[in-house]
Chain A
Amino acid sequence: MSEELRERVAALLAAHDPATTDRLEFLRARFDAGLAWVHFPVGLGGLGAARGDQRIVDEELAKAGAPDNNPRRIGIGLGMAAPTILAFGADEQKRRFLRPLWTGEEVWCQLFSEPGAGSDLAALGTRARRDGDDWVVTGQKVWTSTAHTARWAILVARTDPDVPKHAGMTYFVCDMTDPGVEVRPLRQITGEAEFNEVFLTEVRIPDAHRLGAVGDGWRVAQTTLMNERVAIGGRPVPREGGMIGVVADAWRANPERRTPEAHDRLVKLWVESEALRLAGTRLRQQLAAGSPGPEGSAMKLAFARLAQTLSGFEVELLAEDGLRYDDWTLRRPELVDFTGREAGYRYLRAKGNSIEGGTSEILRNIIAERILGLPSEPRVDKDVPWKDLPK
C-alpha cells in the first residue's frame, strides 16, 4: 500500500504543482485523488485504506511543500461532523457536504449543549416540529465553539417530547445562514469568545438534511461524541508534540529558573506524556477501522489532565513572567489552538479540555460502566417521558 500511496501522491504533485497551483484548487484535487483521508471510501476523499496510512501521505505532501487544510480552523468538521456524516448520511449528503468540509470552504460547528443540558445531553429541549418537507426548529444552544465562522452545524433537537428522553431526539444538519439563527459571542476566561450562544427561532431545515432516522438522534450523537473525544485527546503526535513540547522548550530556555523539585515534576510529566502518546498509537492500531469506542473517550481524560498540569507547571516556572498575560481583548478567534499564544493563555484554555466534549467526570463514568462493566447509579430519568422530567 505504501508504495501505491507514494505513487498517487507523486501523480497529484505532478499534475498540480503546489508552487504554482491555487491553494483551494490543490486541496480539491487532493480530495478527488482520494488523498484527503485515505480511510474514507473511494469517491469521498479516500481510498478505503487503513487510517495509519494517512501519515505516509501527509509526510510526502509536507515534504513537497503542499498546503494543508488548516485543521485547527475546521476541527469540528473534520473530527465530528465528517465521521457522523460518513456513518449515517445518505449518499447525496455525503457527496454534498464532505468535500467542502475537508477543504475548509465550509466550516462546521456543533449545536448540542444547552443551558439545561450539558452532561445530560439527552435532556435537551430545542424543539423540531415537522412541517411538510421541512422541520421548524426553535430553542437555545450554548458554548458553541466557532459558531461565528460556521456555514453548517450538526444539531440535535427534540422531535418527540412524549417518549423517554433518549428516544425522542433527531439529528440534523443546520444551515447557519438561515435567518432564524442568531449567534452571540460568549466570552471565555481567556478573554476570547471562542464559543457562542446560538438562538434558533423557527429555523427551517429540509428533511433532506436529517442525519439518521427520526427518533434515532441519540445514537447518531454518540458517534459524534466518540469521535470528538478522540479528536481532542487521541490525535497522533510525535514525541514532545502538544503541551509537553511547549513546556519542555520553556524549561530549556530558562536555566536560571530551574530547581531540582521542578525538574523532578517535569520529567515525570514528560514520561506520562510519552506514555500517553504511545497509548494513542496502540489504540489506533487496535482500531484499524470503524468508529472509536469508549477506550478512545478515555484517552481524553489523560490528555486533559496532562494538558492542565503541564500548562500550570509552565506558569509557575515562569515566575515573574507567569504573573503576566499577553492580551485580554475580547476577540472571536478563527482557530482553536490549545498550545498557542503564551503560558497564561494555555493554562486557562486547558481548563476547557476537561469540560468540552464530555467532562472528565462523565468520561470516568464511561470507563467505569462501559469498559469495566460496573453497575450504573440508579437512574430516575430513563423511562419517564421527556416532558415529565424535572427541569
Chain B
Amino acid sequence: MSEPNLLYTDVEDDLRASVRDLLADRADGAAVLGRVESAEPHDLGLWRTLAADLGVTSLHVPESLGGQGAGYRETAVVAEELGRSVAPVPFLGSAVLATAALLRVSDDEHARSALAKLAAGDATAALVVPLSAWPGSPLPSVRAEGGGLVGTVRSVADAAVADLLVVPADDGLHLVEAGAARVTPVVSLDLTRPVADVEFSGAASVRVSGSAAAAVDAALLTGAGVLASEQVGVAQWCLDTTVAYLKERYQFGRPVGSFQALKHRLADLWQELVLARAAARYAADRLAAGDQDAPIAVSVAQSLCAAVAVHAAEECVQLHGGIGMTWEHPAHLYLKRAKADEIALGTPGRHRAVLAPLVDLPG
C-alpha cells in the first residue's frame, strides 16, 4: 500500500477556498447568531447555495448515482469549513449521515432515487437515530406494524428541516416522508445544530431492501470520521480567534498574549491541533479509500478530535475573560458545538472502547 496522502490536494484547497468565501459572506459570527435566535434556526438559503453552487451534497456520491464521484476527503474539507463557521446547515444530518446510509443500500431503487434527490440538493434528509449514537451502539426501537411505523427517537440531528426521514426499524431500513411523522424541535445545547424528537404513530413508509444495521453502521462510521474534520475546524477557529484577541487585548500595560503562561497554553493547543488534523485527515482518507483500517482511523480521530475541539473552545472562552462569557461574542456558539460534538456519534470514551479490541489491547 502506498502511503496515504495526509495533506490537502490542490482540488481540496480550491474547494475549501470556495466554501470559505461563501461562509465569510453569509455566515459570519453575527449572521449565525442572528439566525439561531430566529424562528428558523437552520439557514436553508445558505444550504441551497452550498448544494446548488458548490455541490457539497453530491461530493462523495458516485457519478452513476447522480453525484460527483469525489470522496470523503473532499466532504471532510467541507465539514472542516462548516465547523470553522458553525454554519447552521443540515450537512451532517443529510449529506453525511442519511446519504451514507442510503449509499450502503443503493442496490435498492427507492434508495437510489432518494440519493439522486439528496445529491442534487432537491431534498434534505435525516437519519433517524439519536445524534449520540456511535458505531455499534444499540439501535432505537422503531417497529414496523400493520398500520405503519411506530416508535419515538429522541435528539435527532437536523430532523426539523428534513423532507425525508431514513429510519432504521426492526425489520429493515424505511423511507418516510417527513409529513408522515411528528417532528418536534427541542431546545438544544448546540444552537447551530438543533436536534428534534421524531415520533411515528403508524407512519406510511417504503421499506428498502438490505440490512438496516449495516446501513446505520456505515453511516455512523462515516459520520464519526467526517465529524472529526468538523471538530478540527471548530478548534482552528477557536485558536485563531484567541491568538488574535490576545495580541490586541492590553492589561498591565502590555498585550496579554505576551504573558508566557498564556503563550504556552496556546502553543499546547496548536500542538494538539497538529495531532488532531493528522488523525482527521487519515480518517477521511481511509473512508474515501473504503479501506479496512477505516474503523481504527475513525476511532483514533474521534477519541482525539472531540476532546481537542472542547479544549480549544473552553480555552477560547477563558482567555477572552468576561467578554467570552457574553452572548454577543460568538465564542459560546463554538463551545456549544464542541460540547455537543463530543457526544455526537460517540464520546471519546466510547471510541476508545471501540478501538481497543481492534488494535489488540484487550481490557
What is the interface of chain A, defined by CB distance below 8 A to chain B?
113, 116-120, 123, 142-143, 186-189, 191, 195, 259-262, 308, 312, 315-316, 319-328, 344, 347-348, 351-352, 354-355, 359-361, 364-365, 377, 379-381, 384, 389-391
Q: Please name all residues of chain A whose beta carbon is closer than 8 Å to the beta carbon of B253 when the two chains form the complex.
A: 120, 379-381, 384, 389-390
Q: Kindly report which residue of chain B lies nearest to residue A321, judged by CB atoms.
A: B155
Q: Please name all residues of chain A whose beta carbon is closer than 8 Å to the beta carbon of B352 when the two chains form the complex.
A: 261
Q: Contact between A381 and B325 (Cβ–Cβ < 8 Å)?
A: no
Q: What 5 pairs between A and B have smallest CB-CB spacing? A: A381-B253, A187-B327, A189-B332, A120-B251, A320-B155
- Chain B 316-332 interface residues, beta-carbon cutoff 8 Å to A: 317-318, 321-322, 324-328, 331-332
With both chains docked as a complex, state the minimum distance between the C-beta of B199 and any C-beta of chain A, in angstroms: 15
**Whole-angstrom CA separation of A360 from B318 in the bound complex:** 9
Q: Contact between B322 and A142 (Cβ–Cβ < 8 Å)?
A: yes
Q: Contact between B322 and A344 (Cβ–Cβ < 8 Å)?
A: no
Q: Contact between B132 and A319 (Cβ–Cβ < 8 Å)?
A: yes
With both chains docked as a complex, state the minimum distance between the C-beta of B325 and any C-beta of chain A, in angstroms: 5
| Known contacts A324-B155, A327-B187; A259/B353 CB under 8 A | yes
The one of A259, A344, A361 that contacts B349, using a Cβ cutoff of 8 Å: A259
**Whole-angstrom CA separation of A261 from B356 in the bound complex:** 12
The one of A118, A324, A365, A390 that contacts B322, using a Cβ cutoff of 8 Å: A118
| Known contacts A189-B317, A259-B350; A323/B132 CB under 8 A | yes
Q: Please name all residues of chain A whose beta carbon is closer than 8 Å to the beta carbon of B336 when the two chains form the complex.
A: 348
Q: Please name all residues of chain B whose beta carbon is closer than 8 Å to the beta carbon of A195 when the two chains form the complex.
A: 325
**Whole-angstrom CA separation of A391 from B310 in the bound complex:** 33
What is the interface of chain B, defined by CB distance below 8 A to chain A?
130-132, 154-155, 186-191, 195, 250-254, 256, 259, 261-262, 310, 314, 317-318, 321-322, 324-328, 331-332, 335-336, 339-340, 342-344, 347, 349-350, 352-353, 363
| Known contacts A118-B321, A259-B349; A189/B314 CB under 8 A | no
Q: Contact between B188 and A191 (Cβ–Cβ < 8 Å)?
A: no
Q: Contact between B325 and A351 (Cβ–Cβ < 8 Å)?
A: yes
Q: Contact between B189 and A325 (Cβ–Cβ < 8 Å)?
A: yes
With both chains docked as a complex, state the minimum distance between the C-beta of A107 and any C-beta of chain B, in angstroms: 21
Q: Contact between B261 and A361 (Cβ–Cβ < 8 Å)?
A: yes
Q: Contact between A324 and B195 (Cβ–Cβ < 8 Å)?
A: yes
Q: Contact between B326 and A187 (Cβ–Cβ < 8 Å)?
A: yes
| Known contacts A189-B335, A351-B335, A361-B261; A323/B188 CB under 8 A | yes
Q: Please name all residues of chain B whose beta carbon is closer than 8 Å to the beta carbon of A361 when the two chains form the complex.
A: 259, 261-262
With both chains docked as a complex, state the minimum distance between the C-beta of B326 and any C-beta of chain A, in angstroms: 6
Q: Kindly report which residue of chain A lies nearest to residue B258, judged by CB atoms.
A: A377
With both chains docked as a complex, state the minimum distance between the C-beta of A209 and any C-beta of chain B, in angstroms: 26
Q: Contact between B131 and A323 (Cβ–Cβ < 8 Å)?
A: yes
Q: Kindly report which residue of chain B lies nearest to residue A116, judged by CB atoms.
A: B250
**Whole-angstrom CA separation of A189 from B325 in the bound complex:** 6
Q: Please name all residues of chain A whose beta carbon is closer than 8 Å to the beta carbon of B155 when the two chains form the complex.
A: 320-321, 323-324
The one of A123, A327, A348 that contacts B251, using a Cβ cutoff of 8 Å: A123
| Known contacts A262-B349, A348-B332, A377-B259; A325/B321 CB under 8 A | no
With both chains docked as a complex, state the minimum distance between the C-beta of A350 and any C-beta of chain B, in angstroms: 10
**Whole-angstrom CA separation of A384 from B80 in the bound complex:** 47
**23 A-B residue contacts at CB 8 Å?**
A116-B250, A117-B251, A119-B251, A187-B327, A187-B328, A259-B349, A259-B350, A312-B310, A316-B343, A319-B347, A320-B131, A322-B132, A322-B339, A323-B130, A323-B195, A348-B332, A348-B335, A351-B317, A355-B324, A361-B259, A384-B253, A389-B253, A390-B250
**Whole-angstrom CA separation of A312 from B348 in the bound complex:** 13
| Known contacts A120-B251, A379-B252; A320/B322 CB under 8 A | no
**Whole-angstrom CA separation of A230 from B51 in the bound complex:** 55
**Whole-angstrom CA separation of A348 from B347 in the bound complex:** 19
With both chains docked as a complex, state the minimum distance between the C-beta of B76 and any C-beta of chain A, in angstroms: 23
The one of A315, A327, A377 that contacts B343, using a Cβ cutoff of 8 Å: A315
Q: Please name all residues of chain B whose beta carbon is closer than 8 Å to the beta carbon of A143 when the two chains form the complex.
A: 322, 325
Q: Please name all residues of chain A whose beta carbon is closer than 8 Å to the beta carbon of B261 when the two chains form the complex.
A: 361, 364-365
| Known contacts A120-B251, A123-B251, A323-B195; A355/B322 CB under 8 A | yes
Q: Please name all residues of chain B whose beta carbon is closer than 8 Å to the beta carbon of A261 when the two chains form the complex.
A: 349, 352-353
With both chains docked as a complex, state the minimum distance between the C-beta of B158 and any C-beta of chain A, in angstroms: 12
With both chains docked as a complex, state the minimum distance between the C-beta of A110 and any C-beta of chain B, in angstroms: 13
**Whole-angstrom CA separation of A143 from B326 in the bound complex:** 9
Q: Please name all residues of chain B whose beta carbon is closer than 8 Å to the beta carbon of A321 when the two chains form the complex.
A: 155
| Known contacts A187-B326, A188-B326; A320/B318 CB under 8 A | no
Q: Contact between A186 and B326 (Cβ–Cβ < 8 Å)?
A: yes
Extra contacts besides A120-B253, A328-B191 (19): CB < 8 Å: A119-B321, A123-B252, A189-B332, A195-B325, A320-B131, A322-B340, A323-B132, A324-B155, A324-B186, A328-B187, A347-B339, A351-B314, A361-B259, A361-B261, A365-B261, A379-B253, A380-B254, A389-B253, A390-B253
Q: Contact between A319 and B343 (Cβ–Cβ < 8 Å)?
A: yes
Q: Contact between A188 and B189 (Cβ–Cβ < 8 Å)?
A: no
**Whole-angstrom CA separation of A351 from B363 in the bound complex:** 34
| Known contacts A319-B132, A379-B252, A390-B253; A312/B339 CB under 8 A | yes
**Whole-angstrom CA separation of A133 from B327 in the bound complex:** 41
With both chains docked as a complex, state the minimum distance between the C-beta of A333 and any C-beta of chain B, in angstroms: 14
Q: Please name all residues of chain B whose beta carbon is closer than 8 Å to the beta carbon of A359 when the two chains form the complex.
A: 318, 321
Q: Contact between A323 and B321 (Cβ–Cβ < 8 Å)?
A: no
Q: Contact between A188 and B325 (Cβ–Cβ < 8 Å)?
A: yes
With both chains docked as a complex, state the minimum distance between the C-beta of B312 and any C-beta of chain A, in angstroms: 14
